[in-house]
Chains A and B, each alone.
Chain A
Amino acid sequence: MTLRRCTKSVDGTIPIPALVYNDEELLASQDGVGIYDGTQKSANHQSGTIHVTTHRLFFVSAARARAHSFALDLDLVSQTDHYAGLFKSSPKVTLHISTEIASSSSTGAADAADDTPFASWECQVCGYRNPPGRSPAAARICGLCGVPRDSVPSPHSNPPLSSSLPPSSSLPTLRAPPSGSGADERACPACTFLNHPALRACEMCGTTLPIPPAAASSQSAPSSRPSSPDPDDDDDDDASARIIKVSFRKGGDRAFYGVLRRSLKSKAWVAATTMRSPATSPGDMGSGIARILRDAESTAGGRTAHMSAAFQDLEALMVKAADMVRLAADLNERLTATATALPGGAATEPEEATFIRSSLAQLGLQMAGAPVTQDMMQDERRWVESLTRELARVLQGASGSGLMRDRGVIALDEVWGGWNRARGVALLPPTTLLQVVPHLPAHTTPPIAARTLPSGLRVLHTPPFAPAAFAARLAGLLALAGPKTTTEVAAEERVPVGLAAELVGEVEADGEVCRDDGACMIRGGDVEVRWWGNVFHGCAWDGQRV
């Protein structure tokens, strides 16, 4: 009876994490356990898995998880014992259920199960909509303002005190069928199906039916409502009977018992209540609006404290920075003084001074009025020069493996991409490339120069692709091999077609070649432009004279 009175049936097919409340935590699990109701084995609960959470104990039956699984609230457990086992007797954990709590709070638990865990409710005071899924104790208090749910009476709320009413009012309806069709029928405790008195297990769900006292058959119905105190339970009201034993057939009892003890000791269900209960914090003004305001104030206060601490750090840093700037200025002054004192003047400024000044400049501590710009210019010129040498290596390569090994013309964007790819790290912006390009001819053999094509495309080219050289070569080619299309020119010069078009276009702009448009053909037509040497050069009238 203890088992049925104190536990709630759950659907064991639902995974445990889905069954626990939001503020509940699964602590340990152990399979291969059986349950003793009192001192007797409970027939339906002989093989299953037991889970202990911060709030409850779950038993999930291995055979019939849907029908024979149950949950036990830990706040009903008043005492626990551990029995290590002997020979064929499995180790056991005994849970003593406190009677008064069991009888009183089981009703509370029952009605909490009726409405709270999976229904949201709105706080009467602050209007906060409390989400479902919190444990019964926590769910009775508003999550925002801490006001107990039922402190403000309302017609819609269901105060715990009146929760005894629904069962009593539903009792007659439950009892009605037995009184009408025959008092012998027994209601199933799990599914309330009215079974024939001869049956030992429910016809529908297989739950063991309570054995009715032979004398009073009318008392079978109350026994189907374990929450209501009924006289037939009085016989096992003695302390020895108010126990549930968990038998560990596959071991794991010690670890489980340890976890259970800890869970019982921590009293998470009580903690949740006290944390939210306004009565336990005596310094508080109370609950509701005052509490919300106080919370907001303390949060803001904490943030201000953090912020001021951070700013103090920053101020300290700024003080140091001022020192550093002063030091730099001092250093700079001394350098200038030394330089002017020297007979050679600023022109023979030592290497170290230049280095120091450029370092300062790089730190962003450039001094006004000092000849740093000149130094920086020297420095930069050297930098550009080394970059130019590097680019020359990329383009021409040490052993003929550069970008321009077998190409006479290369677009600047490709150069930039190739260079940065070769560098891998410390990539350079296009502006730097443009800075470097004018210095290239001095560092390359044959000299690589830059030119801008008519479309605005900038390219690097070897001497054969200088405008005059290319124009002469193209004119020679056209004179020798006859008219050519752009594609043929591209193939001849081994440059991309687009580039060839640009190059020929530039020669045409100089009037060295002329075009023969396919659109002028009588038949066919629609072919590429063919390039001719300029046939109009020195062309005199040799037609009919008047």
Chain B
Amino acid sequence: MRPGFLLPSIHSAPPFFTQQPHPGTNETATEHWATLILTYARHRKLFVLRVEDTEAADSEWQEVLRNERINRKLLATYLSAILESMVAKNSAVYDPPGQTRSVLLYWRLPEEWAEVLHTWAISTGQLNTILTFYEITDPPIPSPLSNMPANLLRKAIAVLAKTGRAQLITVADGEGVRLFQGTGK
């Protein structure tokens, strides 16, 4: 259903899977890993990356975290170092907060997601109506927001609410949001 993902050439170099002691080399390698992870996540619409994904054989991440052809895999210790660096650069955030084993990937930042949500509401003509989170993350017609984690959605709504384009409403069976046109800032 999805076309294949084009891996970078560095992914077939064995040293890429080893954490390099030299700080400069390590920084370059980690940057490449961060780019690879975000690109892949965007491609596969993945929002969460866990350290355990290096070990789980059925994980969606196996394609990037392992390279069967050159017999190499990413070690959990190196992945947690990579995640730490990504969190530091705000391309990911620990989710739930207060631990370092799992991150929410920001292949789009909450601000970008806010724009996507707003655009989607306009295009589907759902302004000024109350939408539940479920209606947004699991619409009948697949949208860019499909399968979006609730807390990421909440962050996007919070961004919109700041500019007066959304209003968070507590409804009977959970949370809802009303989106406005909000012409300008």
Contacts from A to B (Cβ < 8 Å): 483, 508-511, 514-517, 519-524, 530, 532, 534-536, 539, 541-544, 546
Segment of B71-79, B84-92, B112-120, B123-131 engaged in the interface with chain A: B71-79
Q: Are A536 and B10 in contact (CB under 8 A)?
A: yes
Q: Which of A511, A521, A541, A543 contacts B24 (CB 8 A)?
A: A511
Q: Which of B10, B18, B74 contacts A515 (CB 8 A)?
A: B18
- Please name all residues of chain B whose beta carbon is closer than 8 Å to the beta carbon of A543 when the two chains form the complex: 6-9, 11, 35-36, 39
In whole angstroms, how far apart are the Cα atoms of A521 and B74 in the complex? Answer: 9
Quick one: closest B residue to A483, CB to CB? Answer: B14
In whole angstroms, how far apart are the Cα atoms of A510 and B39 in the complex? Answer: 31
Q: Are B15 and A514 in contact (CB under 8 A)?
A: yes
User: In the complex, how many angstroms separate the beta carbon of A532 from the nearest chain B beta carbon?
Assistant: 5
The answer to the question of B109 belonging to the interface, with a C-beta cut-off of 8 Å to chain A, is no
Q: Are B39 and A546 in contact (CB under 8 A)?
A: yes
Can you list 18 contacts pairing A with B, beta carbon distance less than 8 Å? A510-B22, A514-B15, A514-B20, A514-B25, A515-B18, A519-B18, A520-B17, A520-B75, A522-B72, A530-B14, A532-B13, A536-B10, A536-B29, A536-B32, A542-B10, A543-B6, A543-B11, A543-B36
CB within 8 Å for A522 and B71 given contacts A509-B22, A536-B29, A544-B6: yes
In whole angstroms, how far apart are the Cα atoms of A519 and B15 in the complex? Answer: 11
Scoring B21, B22, B74 by chain A CB atoms within 10 A of each residue's CB, the highest score goes to B22
Quick one: closest A residue to B107, CB to CB? Answer: A546
Q: Which of A521, A530, A532, A535 contacts B71 (CB 8 A)?
A: A521
Q: Which of B6, B22, B28 contacts A508 (CB 8 A)?
A: B22
Quick one: closest A residue to B36, CB to CB? Answer: A543
Q: Are B21 and A515 in contact (CB under 8 A)?
A: yes
- Please name all residues of chain B whose beta carbon is closer than 8 Å to the beta carbon of A511 when the two chains form the complex: 22, 24-25
In whole angstroms, how far apart are the Cα atoms of A16 and B17 in the complex? Answer: 91
Quick one: closest B residue to A530, CB to CB? Answer: B14
Scoring A508, A532, A544, A546 by chain B CB atoms within 10 A of each residue's CB, the highest score goes to A544
Q: Given A515-B18, A522-B68, list of 11 further CB < 8 A pairs?
A: A508-B22, A515-B15, A516-B15, A520-B14, A520-B73, A522-B66, A530-B14, A536-B29, A542-B10, A546-B39, A546-B42
In whole angstroms, how far apart are the Cα atoms of A546 and B108 in the complex? Answer: 12
Q: Which of B14, B21, B25, B35 contacts A516 (CB 8 A)?
A: B14
The answer to the question of B134 belonging to the interface, with a C-beta cut-off of 8 Å to chain A, is no
Quick one: closest A residue to B74, CB to CB? Answer: A520
CB within 8 Å for A522 and B73 given contacts A508-B21, A544-B43: yes
Q: Which of B9, B16, B22 contacts A542 (CB 8 A)?
A: B9
Instruction: Tell me whether chain A's interface is mostly helix, strand or loop, or mixed.
Output: loop
- Please name all residues of chain B whose beta carbon is closer than 8 Å to the beta carbon of A522 when the two chains form the complex: 66, 68, 71-73
Contacts from B to A (Cβ < 8 Å): 5-11, 13-22, 24-25, 28-29, 32, 35-36, 39-40, 42-43, 66, 68, 71-75
- Please name all residues of chain B whose beta carbon is closer than 8 Å to the beta carbon of A516 when the two chains form the complex: 14-15, 17-18, 72
Q: Are B10 and A535 in contact (CB under 8 A)?
A: yes
Quick one: closest B residue to A525, CB to CB? Answer: B71
In whole angstroms, how far apart are the Cα atoms of A522 and B29 in the complex? Answer: 20
Scoring B6, B25, B36, B43 by chain A CB atoms within 10 A of each residue's CB, the highest score goes to B25
User: In the complex, how many angstroms separate the beta carbon of B165 from the nearest chain A beta carbon?
Assistant: 26
- Please name all residues of chain A whose beta carbon is closer than 8 Å to the beta carbon of B66 when the two chains form the complex: 522
In whole angstroms, how far apart are the Cα atoms of A488 and B36 in the complex? Answer: 33
Q: Are B8 and A542 in contact (CB under 8 A)?
A: yes
Quick one: closest A residue to B3, CB to CB? Answer: A544
Q: Which of B13, B19, B25, B72 contacts A521 (CB 8 A)?
A: B72
User: In the complex, how many angstroms separate the beta carbon of A55 from the nearest chain B beta carbon?
Assistant: 90
Quick one: closest A residue to B14, CB to CB? Answer: A516
Q: Are B16 and A535 in contact (CB under 8 A)?
A: yes
CB within 8 Å for A539 and B43 given contacts A508-B22, A520-B75: no
Scoring A517, A521, A523 by chain B CB atoms within 10 A of each residue's CB, the highest score goes to A517
CB within 8 Å for A544 and B15 given contacts A508-B22, A520-B73, A536-B29: no
Q: Are B39 and A535 in contact (CB under 8 A)?
A: no
Q: Which of A519, A530, A536, A544 contacts B25 (CB 8 A)?
A: A536
Q: Are B5 and A517 in contact (CB under 8 A)?
A: no
In whole angstroms, how far apart are the Cα atoms of A534 and B13 in the complex? Answer: 11
User: In the complex, how many angstroms separate the beta carbon of A503 from the nearest chain B beta carbon?
Assistant: 15
CB within 8 Å for A519 and B8 given contacts A514-B22, A536-B29, A541-B35: no
Q: Are A534 and B14 in contact (CB under 8 A)?
A: no
- Please name all residues of chain A whose beta carbon is closer than 8 Å to the beta carbon of B32 when the two chains form the complex: 536, 539, 541
Quick one: closest B residue to A543, CB to CB? Answer: B8
Q: Are A535 and B13 in contact (CB under 8 A)?
A: yes
Scoring B5, B18, B39, B42 by chain A CB atoms within 10 A of each residue's CB, the highest score goes to B18
Q: 8 nearest interchain CB pairs?
A: A543-B8, A516-B14, A544-B6, A536-B28, A517-B18, A520-B17, A514-B15, A516-B15
In whole angstroms, how far apart are the Cα atoms of A532 and B22 in the complex? Answer: 13
User: In the complex, how many angstroms separate the beta carbon of A529 from the nearest chain B beta carbon?
Assistant: 8
Q: Are A532 and B36 in contact (CB under 8 A)?
A: no
- Please name all residues of chain B whose beta carbon is closer than 8 Å to the beta carbon of A520 when the two chains form the complex: 14, 17-18, 72-75
Q: Are A524 and B11 in contact (CB under 8 A)?
A: no
Q: Are B39 and A544 in contact (CB under 8 A)?
A: yes
- Please name all residues of chain B whose beta carbon is closer than 8 Å to the beta carbon of A542 when the two chains form the complex: 8-10
User: In the complex, how many angstroms separate the beta carbon of A360 from the nearest chain B beta carbon?
Assistant: 57
- Please name all residues of chain A whose beta carbon is closer than 8 Å to the beta carbon of B71 when the two chains form the complex: 521-524
User: In the complex, how many angstroms separate the beta carbon of A65 from the nearest chain B beta carbon?
Assistant: 89
In whole angstroms, how far apart are the Cα atoms of A534 and B22 in the complex? Answer: 11
In whole angstroms, how far apart are the Cα atoms of A204 and B131 in the complex? Answer: 135
User: In the complex, how many angstroms separate the beta carbon of B42 from the nearest chain A beta carbon?
Assistant: 6
Q: Are A544 and B17 in contact (CB under 8 A)?
A: no
In whole angstroms, how far apart are the Cα atoms of A534 and B71 in the complex? Answer: 20
User: In the complex, how many angstroms separate the beta carbon of B168 from the nearest chain A beta carbon?
Assistant: 30
Quick one: closest B residue to A508, CB to CB? Answer: B22
User: In the complex, how many angstroms separate the beta carbon of A541 from the nearest chain B beta carbon?
Assistant: 6
- Please name all residues of chain B whose beta carbon is closer than 8 Å to the beta carbon of A519 when the two chains form the complex: 18, 75
- Please name all residues of chain B whose beta carbon is closer than 8 Å to the beta carbon of A483 when the two chains form the complex: 14
Q: Are B14 and A532 in contact (CB under 8 A)?
A: yes
In whole angstroms, how far apart are the Cα atoms of A539 and B75 in the complex? Answer: 22
Q: Are A532 and B15 in contact (CB under 8 A)?
A: yes
In whole angstroms, how far apart are the Cα atoms of A60 and B28 in the complex? Answer: 105
Quick one: closest A residue to B24, CB to CB? Answer: A511
In whole angstroms, how far apart are the Cα atoms of A522 and B71 in the complex? Answer: 5
Quick one: closest B residue to A507, CB to CB? Answer: B22
